[in-house]
Amino acid sequence: MFIRLIILFIFIFTNGCSSINLKNEPASNDIIFLKAKSFLDNNKFEKAKSNFLQILDSEKGSELALLSHLYLGYSYYGLKNYDESIYNFNYYSMFSKDIMKIEDSQFMKSKCVYKMTLPFKNDQTQTFLAISTIQEFLDNFPTSKYGYEINTMITSLRNKISKKYYETGRLYMKMKSYNAAKYYFDLVIDDYYDTKYYSEAKISYIFNYILMDDYEGAVIYYNENKDSFDFEAKEEANYILSKYKHKIGLSGYYRLYR
């Protein structure tokens, strides 16, 4: 009986110690990855980031580490840290052989550069860079499943730049720098014909002539270009040519400064 108690004690002690050791063992990177992915799926971006970084600290060059770069990119995107997000998406794209996930990562890179652009009143260098980056994505993935979203982003960015030029032209009109105003309206008309400021620039071009006391120039410009005016633009152009034939008046200055 005594011997049986000793055997039972040894058995309980041995198994108890095993359980304790298992509980104290650090989780494997596979488990950490699954936990991090769960955090990401539930929009817990900071926790996801920390876990993916933990994997990268302990693994170098593995498939799990590479995949962690991809999802780290998503985590940083959720945290609005677009520079770090771009770095991780680019890293994944350079070393991955999974073309579908590369497409995903480069699309997310496009979203990052789009988010980093500034309002039209600011310098638009970043906007030009974003258009170039997004166009590169379209060149690499011409039949992408993200085609609609990519084209929507490009349209939005082109509208932003054309608005910048259009409003700059209007500013020069107010400053009576009429040739400078024409320069910026020409930029919109020549390069941003697919934006909503195309018609506005042509209307302003006519008004600019009138402000220069060159009514004849306004008429000539309209007659030479009226075929490119849509219906509403033609109506407005004819209204301006009729309304301000002899003088600008109060309504003309209101139009200028509105």
Are both 125 and 207 inside the same structural domain?
yes
Are both 155 and 252 inside the same structural domain?
yes
User: Residue 133 maps to which CATH number?
Assistant: 1.25.40.10
**How far apart, in Å, are the Cα atoms of 162 and each of 36, 126, 169, 217?**
42, 14, 10, 24
Task: Give the tokens for residue 223.
Answer: 């007659």
* CA nearest to 172, candidates 190, 161, 185: 185
pLDDT grade for 254, boundaries at 50, 70 and 90: low
Distance (Å, rounded) from C-alpha 53 to C-alpha 62?
Answer: 14
Are both 201 and 258 inside the same structural domain?
yes
Q: Which of 113, 145, 175 is the last residue of a domain?
A: 113
Are both 254 and 153 inside the same structural domain?
yes
* CA nearest to 188, candidates 160, 217, 207: 160
| Structural domain harbouring 219 | 117-258
| Percent of residues, the chain, with pLDDT higher than 90 | 79
> Per residue in 117-156, pLDDT tens?
999 999 999 999 999 999 999 999 999 999 999 999 999 9
Average pLDDT over residues 177-184: 97
Task: Give the tokens for residue 64.
Answer: 């799990």
Are both 39 and 8 inside the same structural domain?
yes
Between CA 171 and CA 84, with CA 164 as vertex, the angle to 5 degrees is: 145
Which DSSP category does 28 fall into? Answer: P
> Per residue in 64-120, pLDDT tens?
999 999 999 999 999 999 999 999 999 999 999 999 999 999 999 999 999 999 999
**Structural domains in the chain (count):** 2
Are both 70 and 177 inside the same structural domain?
no
For every residue of 45-63, DSSP letters joined together read: HHHHHHHHHHHHHH-SS-H
Are both 29 and 17 inside the same structural domain?
yes
Q: Which of 88, 113, 138 is the last residue of a domain?
A: 113
Are both 69 and 129 inside the same structural domain?
no
Are both 201 and 124 inside the same structural domain?
yes
Between CA 164 and CA 175, with CA 169 as vertex, the angle to 5 degrees is: 125
Whether pTM > 0.85 for this model: the answer is: no
Are both 64 and 149 inside the same structural domain?
no
Long-range contacts of 47-52 (CB under 8 A, 24+ apart): 48/74, 48/75, 48/78, 49/75, 49/76, 49/79
Are both 101 and 81 inside the same structural domain?
yes
Are both 133 and 98 inside the same structural domain?
no
